[in-house]
Amino acid sequence: MDLKQMFLTGIIFSLASILFYIMITSRERESKRKEQRMSEDDFIVTVPGFIKWPGIICGVLSCVGFGFFIIIMTLFPNGTATWWVYTMFSLFVLLGVFLTVFLARWKIKIKGENIYVSSILTNKVFAFSDITSLKFSQKEVKAYSGKIRIFSASCYYIGYEMLIKKLKSKGLQARR
């Protein structure tokens, strides 16, 4: 590797590190700002904007890009596009739609004694009394009702700290 390549690699690594630092600090600022407007009995745990919006943009671009390729391959065939190419491109379009909808809809809303979990296709309501156990890992918490997982939340999500406080105030036992 010559000096020019080493310099370029160093610049790329430095820019990536700076971008990562900016993303983490912006998440903390966004989280603190939004959590200040929430009360202890009425708050939302959601994906932060620095994860949500790039994910939604990438999902939409994936849908549009691969959809465009499918249309071009259909209108102007050159004999190289077989059935599996259409299948793979269609799967990428569906993945883009799935991720876009998931990021836009996923949230946990705590209102009084109820937990509202919104996912891609479902809105479920649980009470804190339905939670039989909690499992903490280094970066997330998972709540279970028996062996069925009710929800999981990452420490990077907005409202995570309030959720942990609420779960501890309810006296729920955690296992690691």
Residue-wise pLDDT tens digits, 126-166:
888 888 888 888 888 998 888 888 888 888 888 888 888 88
CA atoms in the 13 A half-sphere facing the CB of 31: 22
Domain residue extents for the chain:
1-37, 39-175
Measured between alpha carbons, how far apart are the two ends of the chain, in Å?
46
pLDDT at 9 > cutoff 80: yes
pTM reported for the whole predicted model: 0.66
Work out the pLDDT band at 175, boundaries 50, 70, 90: low
Return the pLDDT at 116. 92
CA atoms in the 13 A half-sphere facing the CB of 160: 18
Residue 143's H or E segment, with its range, is strand 140-145
Q: Quick one: which of 172, 169, 131, 166 has its CA closest to 43?
A: 166
pLDDT at 29 > cutoff 80: no
State the Cα–Cα distance between residues 70 and 75, nearest whole angstrom: 9
